[in-house]
């Protein structure tokens, strides 16, 4: 059975259910499994596989202690009828070239496709994972395998075993989209509550309303005075707070995470890389075995890390390209080998990528250093102490072989939205636009037969930024702005966004960062 342990040590030994229930390793590291890549997916039938078939294959390979029946049930519940596309994540070919200033993409180059990841209930790619995570979480309770090692080496607070009636409080920091997707996934989930913290004033109006109107007897939504990194760091401290965990444990409550630090959030995302490849095969745009390049708008490195997992599972990946916004800490890191978060934080039109501390990078460092926990622990200590670290040169070279990068400032994002519309009649949101810009800047990998841009949000989630980019005069109200955008482009807002303005606001709390733990405790005790 594949066991998970921390990126920073060989402990604890968790099966995949325990890893999902625990969320983050007790030493602050992220759960990783050394078996990644020892079993690969059989690609011979890939072209004929549905999204559900692929999701079952991927989950079954990476989460080995769920039964086939459990996985099939999770996949059916998560993707059966929750996505407004039969493909779940449909692939669209772009009609035009990538842009006038694209010197590298001549006629002979590989074609570019967009993988639309936003057909789920909240119109962002996080639905793919967050429709799945609650189903996986629900099946971690009362795990028989757990009783054998009830005396966890990390103390009672970190004991991954579930007591029969234990409840879970999901605590999540969001830069805008995770919050709503997690709320939608966990709302009224039995035995579970959810608390979401978002940076007040730093998410779009649509994003804020999506959260503040969320229904459900078990949901808590709270603004914080600070930015996303403040919220994420405070949430990590809440998870590391042993006294809090013990107090809650006495009341039968365990804290867990719906952020991409949770392996149950990461693994479902691996499936859509295979689904993109299957669609390219079906459309006869590539031959079996052809390499494909993926460009991924990323902040916390979760989405693109799933692409790395796909490669380890046997998908022919030419290159993985990180696309950042003006908060380009990842691109600087991949270029120089120095990660330095000591820099100004920018609030941009792509708020879900406004991140300076990129959590999932830690998993990438673990795998590309061949599982060097000591090195990872040392780098993460340096990051915590001084805000920066520098990689050994050989490790940087290995990383650069696989990962490319680029970034877009705000003007370039707006240009990309306008150019993509002009050339392709295709509307993209500001996050996807970062990737569109970067693809235009970088030459395709020599062996790439297709370039796939992951589209992470429906453009109507960010109607003002998109309308501004197209030069449309936008009224002050975001919903009127949606209408302007719709009239000008002949596209339509998803119903779940257009109807938000009619919903009552149910959540108005705002706290300081140092009030977050008390907020969680009160919510957990009310479960």
Of the residues 299, 406, 459, 463, which one makes contact with ligand PLP according to CB under 6 A: 299
Establish if 297 lies at the interface with ligand PLP (CB under 6 A).
Answer: yes
CB of 439 to ligand PLP, least distance (A): 15
Establish if 301 lies at the interface with ligand PLP (CB under 6 A).
Answer: yes
| Of residues 279 and 300, the one with the C-beta less far from ligand PLP | 300
Establish if 293 lies at the interface with ligand PLP (CB under 6 A).
Answer: no
Q: Does residue 232 contact residue 526 with C-beta atoms inside 8 Å?
A: no
Residue 86 burial (CB count, 10 A): 9
Of the residues 116, 244, 456, 464, which one makes contact with ligand PLP according to CB under 6 A: 456
CB of 12 to ligand PLP, least distance (A): 25
With CA atoms as reference, report the closest residue to 452 among 288, 266, 334, 323. Answer: 323
Establish if 300 lies at the interface with ligand PLP (CB under 6 A).
Answer: yes
Helix axes 205-212, 177-186, angle to 10 degrees: 20
The H or E element containing residue 91 is: strand 91-93
List, in order, residues 6 or more apart from 382 with CB less than 8 Å away.
Answer: 388, 389
| Bridge-based pairing state of the strands 219-225 and 338-340 | unpaired
Three-class HEC string of 34-90: CCCCCCCCCCCCHHHCCHHHHHHHHHHHHCCCCCHHHHHHHHHHHHCCCCCCCCCCC
Which one of the spans 34-42, 54-62, 222-230, 299-307 is the region binding ligand PLP (CB under 6 A)? 299-307
Q: How many residues bind ligand PLP (CB under 6 A)?
A: 17
Q: Which residues pair with 192 in a beta bridge?
A: 168
The whole-angstrom separation of Cα 186 and Cα 173 is 15
Establish if 8 lies at the interface with ligand PLP (CB under 6 A).
Answer: no
Establish if 127 lies at the interface with ligand PLP (CB under 6 A).
Answer: no
Establish if 83 lies at the interface with ligand PLP (CB under 6 A).
Answer: no
Establish if 302 lies at the interface with ligand PLP (CB under 6 A).
Answer: yes
Residues 333-372 that bind ligand PLP (CB under 6 A): 352-353
Establish if 126 lies at the interface with ligand PLP (CB under 6 A).
Answer: yes
Residues 219-278 that bind ligand PLP (CB under 6 A): 260
With CA atoms as reference, report the closest residue to 357 among 263, 233, 235. Answer: 233
In the shown chain, the binding pattern of residues 413 to 452 toward ligand PLP, with x for contact by CB under 6 A and - for none, equals ------------------x---------------------
The whole-angstrom separation of Cα 426 and Cα 406 is 22
Of the residues 57, 70, 127, 177, which one makes contact with ligand PLP according to CB under 6 A: 177
| Of residues 130 and 161, the one with the C-beta less far from ligand PLP | 130
| Of residues 139 and 339, the one with the C-beta less far from ligand PLP | 339
Three-class HEC string of 136-157: HHHCCCCCHHHHHHCCCCCCHH
Site residues, ligand PLP (CB under 6 A): 124, 126, 177, 260, 297-304, 352-353, 431, 456-457
């Amino acid at each position: 059975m594949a066991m998970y342990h921390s990126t920073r040590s060989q402990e604890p030994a968790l099966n995949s259910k325990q890893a999902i229930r625990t969320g983050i390793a007790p030493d602050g590291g992220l759960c990783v499994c050394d078996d990644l890549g020892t079993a690969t997916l059989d690609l011979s039938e890939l072209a004929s596989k549905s999204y559900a078939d692929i999701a079952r294959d991927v989950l079954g390979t990476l989460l080995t202690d769920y039964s086939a029946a459990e996985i099939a049930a999770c996949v059916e519940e998560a993707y059966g009828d929750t996505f407004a596309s039969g493909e779940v994540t449909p692939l669209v070919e772009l009609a035009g070239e990538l842009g006038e200033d694209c010197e590298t993409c001549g006629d002979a180059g590989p074609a570019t496709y967009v993988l639309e990841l936003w057909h789920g209930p909240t119109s962002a790619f996080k639905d793919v994972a967050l429709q799945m995570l609650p189903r996986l979480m629900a099946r971690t309770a009362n795990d028989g395998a757990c009783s054998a090692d009830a005396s966890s080496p990390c103390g009672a607070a970190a004991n991954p075993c579930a007591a029969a009636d234990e409840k879970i409080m999901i605590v999540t920091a969001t830069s805008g989209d995770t919050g709503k997707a997690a709320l939608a996934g966990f709302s009224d989930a039995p035995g579970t509550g959810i608390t979401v913290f978002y940076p007040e004033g730093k998410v779009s109006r649509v994003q804020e309303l999506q959260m503040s109107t969320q229904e459900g007897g078990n949901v808590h939504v709270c603004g914080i005075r600070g930015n996303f990194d403040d919220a994420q760091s405070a949430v990590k401290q809440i998870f590391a707070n042993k006294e809090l965990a013990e107090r809650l444990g006495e009341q039968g409550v365990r804290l867990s995470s719906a952020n991409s630090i949770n392996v149950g959030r990461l693994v479902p995302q691996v499936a859509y890389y295979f689904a993109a490849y299957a669609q390219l095969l079906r459309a006869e745009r590539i031959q079996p075995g052809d390499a494909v390049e993926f460009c991924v708008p990323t902040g916390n490195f979760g989405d693109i890390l799933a692409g790395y997992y796909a490669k380890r599972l046997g998908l022919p990946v030419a290159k993985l390209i990180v696309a950042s916004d003006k908060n380009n800490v990842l691109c600087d890191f991949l270029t120089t080998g120095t990660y330095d978060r000591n820099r100004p934080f920018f609030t941009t039109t792509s708020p879900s990528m406004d991140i300076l501390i990129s959590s999932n990078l830690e998993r990438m460092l673990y795998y590309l250093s061949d599982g060097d926990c000591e090195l990872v622990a040392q780098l993460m200590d340096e990051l915590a102490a001084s805000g920066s670290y520098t990689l050994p040169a050989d490790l940087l070279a290995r990383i650069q072989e696989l990962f490319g990068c680029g970034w877009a400032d705000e003007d370039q994002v707006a240009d990309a939205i306008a150019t993509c519309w002009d050339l392709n009649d295709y509307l993209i949101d500001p996050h996807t636009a970062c990737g569109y810009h970067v693809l235009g800047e970088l030459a395709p990998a020599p062996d790439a037969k297709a370039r796939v841009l992951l589209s992470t949000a429906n453009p109507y989630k960010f109607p003002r930024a998109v309308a501004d980019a197209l030069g449309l005069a936008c009224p002050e109200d975001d919903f009127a702005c949606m209408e302007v955008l719709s009239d000008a482009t002949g596209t339509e807002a998803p119903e779940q966004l257009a109807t938000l303005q009619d919903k009552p606001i149910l959540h108005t709390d705002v706290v300081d960062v140092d009030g977050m733990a008390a907020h969680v405790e009160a919510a957990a005790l009310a479960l």
